Amino acid sequence: GTLVGHFRIGGMTCAACVNSVEGILRKLPGVKRAVVALATSLGEVEYEPAVIRKEEIVEAIEDAGFEASFVQ
């Protein structure tokens, strides 16, 4: 089954940043759904834990030039 993880994403300053981060997340293997909100700097990601770990999701966001951490 899937899990839902919440991530704090720093460095997003415009709506295109949000689209960029959502696009990165949605292309990751094991990610089923990703929604990012600019106002709260939060992202919600539904993922398959057998395929991808939340640490790898953080790394993918950081590789795109943003800051990321997971929220408990």
Among 13-21, 23-31, 45-53, 54-62, which window interacts with ligand 9UX (CB under 6 A)?
13-21
Which residue type does 40 have?
T
Q: Contact with ligand 9UX (CB under 6 A): which of 17, 28, 38, 52?
A: 17
Give the 3-state secondary structure of residue 62. Answer: helix
28 binds ligand 9UX (CB under 6 A): no
Closest contact distance (angstroms) between CB of 5 and ligand 9UX is: 22
Going across the sheet that includes 42-47, the strands are: 31-37, 42-47, 3-10, 67-71
